A and B are shown apart, each in its own frame.
Chain A
Amino acid sequence: MQHLIPEFEQLRKRYPATFASSLLLPCLHRIQEDRGYVADSDIDGLVEYLGVPRIQIEEVLSFYGQLRRKPVGRCHIQACRNLSCSLLGAERIVDHLSRRLGIAPGQTTADGRFTLSTVECLASCGTAPVVMVDGTYHESMTPEKIDALIEARS
């Protein structure tokens, strides 16, 4: 994470001077964007850089669903399965994804290409069913669109 410190310093300028602890989540987001997950060495680095207790970082990492301690596949597909998506076929979409990729939700393909997850409401209910692929929303999904999406990334 050391190479990200200049960016963190820019961010710090807009916070009140006493808000170092508030930088924790944005720093973790940025580290995960950079590395794909948060490594032990990142925690060491943040303890030193932010001066927050190690346990606070561990607590945050285990609390928030988006933060990861391990890498995921090169393409991370997260399918919403909350109410509005389910009413328009989310279960069928998840089944189709599972079949196409040969993995259950929560798993990564053997070649490390794809990870499939299910998530709760993404606030995209009007264009259900929705899947998030590497952080980008794909709306009004159909099995055909899933096939195209997987082929484009295989």
Chain B
Amino acid sequence: MANTKLLMTFPVTASSHMLAAYRARGGYGALEKALREMKPEQVAAEVNASGIQGRGGAAFPMGRKWAVVHPMDGQPHYLCANADEGEPGTFKDRWILEYAPHLLLESMLLAAYALQVRHAFVYIRGEFDQPYRRLAAAVEEAYAAGYFGQRILGSDFACDLVVSRGAGSYVCGEASALLSSIEGKRGYPRNRPPRLTVRGLYQKPTVVNNVETLSNIAWIVANGGAAFSKVGMAKEPGTRLISISGHIERPGVYEIEIGHPFARFIYEDCGGVLGGRALKGVIPGGISTKILTASDIGPLTLDNASLQTAGSSMGSGGMVVIAEGTCMVRLLQVLLRFYHHESCGQCTPCREGMGWLHRIIDRIVAGDGHPEDIERLYQISAWNDGTTICGMGDAAGYATSGILNKFRDEFEYYIEHKRSRCNGTLECPKSS
């Protein structure tokens, strides 16, 4: 595999995120080409031909999402970049926002042109400081250079962009909750149908795409959808930004070609487990994807088809590495506290279920667990699967059952002996 890079193609310097540097790398060339030579439907056709799938977690084909929108149907359409990066373990969109904000903006302009969007939004999580400042500065640079506003680059195309900040809510990363939040309401997810591409922001057709997914469009338009489809795997083309953290020697954001060997990524590209310890588990794509053990990952490659054979998925590309010696009971406690804290409270199974899961795991950690608690954790997880408006309840269940499936004996030990088999440790000292 050639290890092609489509996004992390330049050395990061103190000014590489700015407009001048972006243009020196050929930036906004795809937009000029599109406005000069291509009709909106041709841009959409290239994106469709690329076969790119969503990088936010659900891996939905971008072309199919776009195809629901009819650009010439006379009503307003909206475009929104999902920059509410909140899935624990995920910090890859932050890389684009901080180091290549114009790549996102140019790609959004191309998407807006293809879909005939007059008003586009970036919904960015409220906690982000530098990513927000860099993005906001990039938007001002782009306006000043005539890339936004009326008659962009002398054409008839007009587009405005607003950076909309969240205010601390995990569930707002879910596309419909995100739109509720942009509307100035509580971030409650909405039932489908109707799809957001039929009735989204203020009930108008709205395309919500992840930051990384969108950011590929400039390359796709510049080089063609067919060229993109040759990168990575035939059924999952392109690259993925993987953010890796936890017990790993070289944490950070890496761009890999889809289909890259999993073990090589961990042990060679990222330097292996911290302090040379043995690998206990890897959560491959954000904490809501099912955990894999060291023996699981041996034959796997970094693509959804491969990870699905082991019951997991690429999710949001947020990989968390866990060294041998880590207490999985305490680890699940951290995750369940999080899901409980973030449940929006709209659906009963999640609102009640997250609190119930959290209370059970707290009880086990405190040494008051019952042998039947393990089955209870499974049962509550199952009750949430498919019974809530958004996927958060399902996700908490996958995380829970995933850990119980692989490390059940540790939970049994903890409940029986009222203490951890691994000293209750979560931390793996960097210096060891």
Closest Cβ of chain A to B352, distance in Å, is 18
Q: How many residues of B contact A (CB 8 A)?
A: 62
Q: B44 an interface residue at 8 Å Cβ cutoff? A: no
- Chain A 41-64 interface residues, beta-carbon cutoff 8 Å to B: 52, 56, 59-60, 63-64
Once the chains bind, are A83 and B89 in contact (CB under 8 Å)?
Answer: yes
Once the chains bind, are B426 and A65 in contact (CB under 8 Å)?
Answer: no
Q: B331 an interface residue at 8 Å Cβ cutoff? A: yes
Once the chains bind, are A81 and B243 in contact (CB under 8 Å)?
Answer: no
Please give me the residue from chain B that is nearest to A11 by CB atom.
B162
A56 to B187, CA, bound (A): 12
Once the chains bind, are A125 and B88 in contact (CB under 8 Å)?
Answer: yes
Once the chains bind, are A83 and B168 in contact (CB under 8 Å)?
Answer: no
Please give me the residue from chain A that is nearest to B251 by CB atom.
A126
The residue in A123, A132, A135 that gathers the most chain B C-beta atoms within 10 A of its C-beta is A123
**What range describes how many residues of A lie at the interface?**
35 or more
A149 to B119, CA, bound (A): 42
Q: Map CB proximity to A onto B389-432 as digits: 1 under 8 Å, 0 otherwise.
A: 00000000000000000000000000000000000001111100
Main secondary structure of the interface of A (DSSP, over half): mixed
Closest Cβ of chain B to A24, distance in Å, is 4
Please give me the residue from chain B that is nearest to A127 by CB atom.
B251
Once the chains bind, are A86 and B86 in contact (CB under 8 Å)?
Answer: no
- Chain B 233-258 interface residues, beta-carbon cutoff 8 Å to A: 243-247, 251-253
Once the chains bind, are A15 and B91 in contact (CB under 8 Å)?
Answer: no
Once the chains bind, are A126 and B253 in contact (CB under 8 Å)?
Answer: yes
Residues of A within 8 A of B344 (CB): 63
A132 to B130, CA, bound (A): 12
Q: A6 an interface residue at 8 Å Cβ cutoff? A: no
Once the chains bind, are A125 and B243 in contact (CB under 8 Å)?
Answer: yes
Closest Cβ of chain A to B184, distance in Å, is 4
Q: Tell which of A22, A64, A119, A128 touches B167, judged by Cβ atoms closer than 8 Å.
A: A64
User: Are A59 and B185 CB-contacts (below 8 A) given A29-B167, A122-B127?
Assistant: yes
Residues of A within 8 A of B181 (CB): 25
Residues of A within 8 A of B184 (CB): 21-25, 52, 56, 60
Residues of B within 8 A of A89 (CB): 427, 429
- Chain B 324-361 interface residues, beta-carbon cutoff 8 Å to A: 326, 331, 334-335, 338, 341-342, 344
Please give me the residue from chain A that is nearest to B429 by CB atom.
A89
Q: Map CB proximity to B onto A120-153 as digits: 1 under 8 Å, 0 otherwise.
A: 1111111110001001110000000000000000
Once the chains bind, are B89 and A125 in contact (CB under 8 Å)?
Answer: yes
A122 to B161, CA, bound (A): 25
Q: A102 an interface residue at 8 Å Cβ cutoff? A: no
Residues of A within 8 A of B430 (CB): 88
- Chain B 85-102 interface residues, beta-carbon cutoff 8 Å to A: 85-91, 93-94
A65 to B126, CA, bound (A): 10
User: Are A63 and B427 CB-contacts (below 8 A) given A22-B164, A82-B88, A83-B88?
Assistant: no
A135 to B168, CA, bound (A): 12
Q: Map CB proximity to B onto A60-101 as digits: 1 under 8 Å, 0 otherwise.
A: 100111110000000000000111101111011000000000
Please give me the residue from chain A that is nearest to B139 by CB atom.
A14
Residues of A within 8 A of B335 (CB): 83
Once the chains bind, are B168 and A126 in contact (CB under 8 Å)?
Answer: no
Once the chains bind, are B127 and A66 in contact (CB under 8 Å)?
Answer: yes
User: Are A67 and B168 CB-contacts (below 8 A) given A59-B186, A122-B127?
Assistant: yes
Residues of A within 8 A of B253 (CB): 126
Q: Tell which of A18, A23, A26, A135 touches B202, judged by Cβ atoms closer than 8 Å.
A: A18
Please give me the residue from chain A that is nearest to B428 by CB atom.
A87
Once the chains bind, are A86 and B185 in contact (CB under 8 Å)?
Answer: no
Please give me the residue from chain B that is nearest to A122 by CB atom.
B127
Once the chains bind, are A21 and B183 in contact (CB under 8 Å)?
Answer: yes
Q: B128 an interface residue at 8 Å Cβ cutoff? A: yes
Please give me the residue from chain A that is nearest to B342 by CB atom.
A120
Residues of A within 8 A of B164 (CB): 22, 25-26
Residues of B within 8 A of A56 (CB): 184-185
Q: B225 an interface residue at 8 Å Cβ cutoff? A: no
Q: A28 an interface residue at 8 Å Cβ cutoff? A: yes
A26 to B181, CA, bound (A): 11
Q: A106 an interface residue at 8 Å Cβ cutoff? A: no
A121 to B125, CA, bound (A): 11
A residues near B (Cβ < 8 Å) are: 14-16, 18-19, 21-26, 28-29, 52, 56, 59-60, 63-67, 81-84, 86-89, 91-92, 119-128, 132, 135-137
If A15-B162, A16-B118, A22-B182 are given as contacts, then 14 extra A-B residue pairs at C-beta distance below 8 Å, sorted by A number, are A16-B76, A22-B164, A60-B184, A65-B169, A66-B127, A82-B338, A87-B427, A88-B427, A88-B428, A120-B338, A125-B245, A126-B243, A128-B245, A137-B130
* 24 examples of A-B residue contacts, CB within 8 angstroms: A14-B160, A15-B119, A16-B119, A18-B202, A21-B183, A22-B164, A23-B184, A26-B165, A29-B126, A60-B167, A81-B334, A86-B334, A87-B247, A88-B246, A91-B426, A120-B341, A121-B86, A121-B338, A123-B85, A123-B86, A123-B90, A125-B90, A136-B129, A137-B129
Please provide the 4 A-B residue pairs with the shortest distance between their CB atoms, ordered closest to farther: A65-B168, A125-B245, A24-B184, A64-B167
